[in-house]
Structure 1
């Protein structure tokens, strides 16, 4: 064996190749594209070789432009991935070799374990929750069952399955009357970004609200409205087998003169209907309780990588779980990065941490 040549220049370190997958077939297509735009702008180009991969609403995959401005929310414009956005490829097989996938997909056909299963089959590392955690986190019905099974506090609700509504509407209405108090919130079981969500103040609006939710998902949840503040907490997986980490909590403050609740328009299209505050102005013991419940919720579904946990804090300081989002909105102004920024982790640092967590974790059973 020859002696090493210490005078020769060292080989340059290859950048980690990251595929940002965004868009998709769900109603949250535009929000996913906006999330990708934020990550494109913030990711370290010296450390990562970024490959933007867009999925159209019809399910076609394209190697997309790396111009982040094409996918940003601007003046109420909703961005769109189309076949003209780049070079069309035959799915994952033609994307090329990558070290890690960052699946920035929201809603069904992406956040629900489908793309996670594809990546597991392909043996490709990826950011975020695995197949089961993604599926449970997407389906609010089974999410609540898992939370309750782990002794976590959830509010009263009624599940309306497709057959229930199609064959016994009167019984469904009676069940809602007997089990819940108005106002109630009617929502698709497997959708996000407040799509298809309606606040219902009395029985007369219930059927119409269920039909509106069914436009997005044949399975519907009717949840009892809870009096309290809408508080969120960001959770980040632990490094080297360590425990999950919780950010400081944040708060959604809705101007109820302008919006009934934190709906899609208030979230993404209006500058005046709601604001976010991080950290939330909470007593220290309540803040710690929110963080504790957020981590327990993350662990209950076997979460990995990242999640945003939404809770209600009632006037008497009780913390009640609303839901968990395994791929929350991730633009620079989204609550998940905002809460970590308030905790001391900047947006670029957060992106780097998530990719490193993904590289550290093998695919397959774990």
Structure 2
């Protein structure tokens, strides 16, 4: 192994979060300490082909370029898959690395698959005593039979960045919302609206200090829903640390760790809650949240004195099987 660790940074992906992933990959590449790491950038195009470190196509087909990409990956010490959403964050890349015997940062295959599936996440959370929003699973065949009985949130089971998520407040809006969500996934969730403060909790398996939970972050938005547009137009305000009582902070931390462990997460995860008058409600879990310097998780750890480059160093070094 060379004096510097060769880190494969994989960005892009075959889903609606392609551009978000590219932003994370570019930001991480620019921030990695060049004295410790040699970045080896790889990009997965929307059609499944891979681009190599020189941004040239590695093959004329998805299968050919994957074979060539594996040869590049084999020359790296560790893989950091900066893919958000299906065919990446859902454990796909972790499984590829596991089959190839490559150390891969972040959560393993099972945790990625479970957390990307919002229905499975709900079942696991409820099983360990963490409340989620009441709701039902709907397939294409059942969509026409769904009745409007009050405000609901409709969302694809497996998608990120709030793509396909819609707040439905009238009967007329339900059918279009279901169709929009079903365009992204063959299963959707129809959940009762939860009124509460949006609080995020970040968990990092710090190789130097053990597992740590960053300062909680509160999301303040003018709209009733923290949707895709609001997530990326700069209008949302992040308050770090969120103004919480000691009891509230303790409950959120304990719930986040309980869900993190039950899902089998590793390395890093952002656990999102609603804090209501009746207590906390789990919203979702992200095993590879946005990782630009301005994203929520890096800002949370920076607020307690862990700068972005050092945060990335801890995440990479938390990888099992990594020769240090």
TM-score by length of 1: 0.82
Residue 271 in 1 paired to residue 234 in 2?
A: yes
Residue 337 (structure 1) aligned to one of 298, 303, 306: 298
Residue 201 in 1 paired to residue 169 in 2?
A: yes
Once the two structures are superposed, the pairs formed by residues 71-90 of structure 1 within 5 Å of their partners are 85-89=55-59, 90=65
Alignment deviations for residues 76-125 of structure 1 (CA, whole Å, 9 cap, x no partner):
xxxxxxxxx43425223232411100000000000111111111000000
Count of equivalent residues:
315
Give 2:24's aligned residue: 35
Partners of 1:138 and 1:144 in 2: CA distance? 11
Alignment deviations for residues 263-306 of structure 1 (CA, whole Å, 9 cap, x no partner):
111111x233x111111111122122111111111111011000
Give unmatched runs, 5+ long, in structure 2: 60-64
Report if aligned partners of 1:25, 1:56 keep a CA contact under 8 Å in 2.
Answer: yes
Once the two structures are superposed, the pairs formed by residues 17-36 of structure 1 within 5 Å of their partners are 17-36=6-25
26 and 304 in structure 1: CA distance in 2 versus 1, 3 angstrom threshold: same
Partners of 1:226 and 1:189 in 2: CA distance? 18
- Structure of greater Rg: 1
- What secondary structure is seen at the aligned counterpart in 1 of 2:202? strand
Partners of 1:53 and 1:45 in 2: CA distance? 18
289 and 360 in structure 1: CA distance in 2 versus 1, 3 angstrom threshold: farther
Give 1:81's aligned residue: none
- What secondary structure is seen at the aligned counterpart in 2 of 1:35? helix
Alignment deviations for residues 325-356 of structure 1 (CA, whole Å, 9 cap, x no partner):
01001111110111111122111111000111
Partners of 1:319 and 1:346 in 2: CA distance? 29
Partners of 2:161 and 2:83 in 1: CA distance? 12
Give 1:62's aligned residue: 51
Stretch moving more, 152-161 or 92-101 = 92-101
Residue 357 in 1 paired to residue 318 in 2?
A: yes
Partners of 1:244 and 1:16 in 2: CA distance? 23
Give 1:300's aligned residue: 262
Give unmatched runs, 5+ long, in structure 1: 1-11, 66-84
TM-score by length of 2: 0.92
Aligned-CA RMSD value: 1.8
Alignment deviations for residues 168-189 of structure 1 (CA, whole Å, 9 cap, x no partner):
x22x32xx63xxxx32110110
Alignment deviations for residues 7-57 of structure 1 (CA, whole Å, 9 cap, x no partner):
xxxxx9621110000101011000000001110111011111110000000
Partners of 1:196 and 1:43 in 2: CA distance? 33
Q: CA deviation at 1:150?
A: 1.3
Partners of 1:341 and 1:285 in 2: CA distance? 24
